[in-house]
Amino acid sequence: MTGPPGRELRGLGDGDVRRLPDPVLGLRCRDVDPMDLAVFVLAEAMVGLMRSSPACVGVAAPQVGQAWRLFVLDVTGHRKARSQHGLVVLCNPVVIEHAGSEVAREGCLSVPDLTGDVPRATSVVVSGTEPGTGQTRVLEADAFEARALQHEIDHLAGLLFLDRVRAPAGVHTRTRYAGPTLAADPAGWRGARVVER
């Protein structure tokens, strides 16, 4: 996808996921109009991708090639989740409150062969707008859902979880789903990105 998606967009598959070092992953995303049909159509396709990807709880628009402030998330039933707001689809989200701090392991569809020990707030309040309705949604989340929300919002700022890892020892080769690109040189990811800010 290089331009805004149109009505012809039926769904997204694993081959549509942008992976490091794709430059779109390092871009600061632009706000979107939640009432724009293209935003709604992309959100629907992202939900389908999330649901069809094993162990995936969220997808942000840059991960499918759009530098838009849009993400989808659903931690329902995840063993580490306490708060569970069901399917969350938000445009132009912002963290309006955060508290606590904890380091925990994270992974990402866009970095399939690595995980990392990432510090995050343990509770957050996030506000955003739902595509298609224009309704403002405010979520109070903790534990795993708070971590997942912060992870997706980071994507919209051009950040990957690797950007939050404090030391090289905090980057790990994924034991499942390992791929050939970065697993051989986990420290090599830093020089692989083109970032526009």
**Residues designated catalytic:** 152
DSSP state of 30: B
In this structure, what is the dihedral angle of CA atoms 104, 136, 85, 48, given to the nearest 10 degrees?
A: -90
Instruction: Return all residues near 3 (Cβ < 8 A) that are at least 6 apart.
Output: none
Element (H, E) at 173: strand 171-173
- Percent of the chain that is helix, strand, coil (3-state, to 5): 25, 30, 45
Instruction: Return all residues near 1 (Cβ < 8 A) that are at least 6 apart.
Output: 9, 16, 64, 65, 66
Q: Report helix, strand or coil for 139.
A: strand
Query: What is the rounded distance in angstroms from the CA atom of residue 147 to the CA atom of residue 177?
Result: 21
CA 84 to each of CA 4, 31, 88, 139, 144: distance values in angstroms, whole numbers, following the listed order: 31, 26, 10, 10, 9
Partnered with residue 111 across adjacent β-strands are 108
